[in-house]
Amino acid sequence: GQSLEQPSEVTAVEGAIVQINCTYQTSGFYGLSWYQQHDGGAPTFLSYNGLDGLEETGRFSSFLSRSDSYGYLLLQELQMKDSASYFCAVRPPGGFKTIFGAGTRLFVKA
């Protein structure tokens, strides 16, 4: 089977750095993606790691280690607008089916 595990909630203060982890059990996949979803809104794509290592996009960075079956999303200089749910996702090879984790709810406090 394939599954992705994330913490259900994370709380941090404005201006801080927060890391959201994602561990997975899957026989194989192309890469690890991250999506952001505000309450009542649509998920939007944040980042993709096809290879091991760190990918940086502005205040957001994402990391993948296939040997450790582990990835994370790093958010720097947190802003109130970053309060949202964050989902990790993978697509196993051989198909078009993307599997999502249950999501991590991030609360940013002033």
Binding residues vs another protein (CB under 8 A): 8, 30-31, 33, 35, 40-45, 48, 50, 87, 89, 91, 93, 96-103, 105
Task: Map tokens 């196993």 to a residue.
Answer: 92
What is the nearest approach in angstroms of another protein to the Cβ of residue 18? 19
What is the nearest approach in angstroms of another protein to the Cβ of residue 44? 7
Question: Which of residues 66 and 91 has its CB atom nearest to another protein in the complex?
Answer: 91
Rounded Cα gap, residues 62 and 75, in angstroms? 9
Question: Which of residues 89 and 106 has its CB atom nearest to another protein in the complex?
Answer: 89
Question: Which of residues 1 and 110 has its CB atom nearest to another protein in the complex?
Answer: 1
Helix, strand or coil, per DSSP, at residue 61 = strand
∠ Cα 106 26 74 (to 5°): 30
∠ Cα 48 26 66 (to 5°): 55
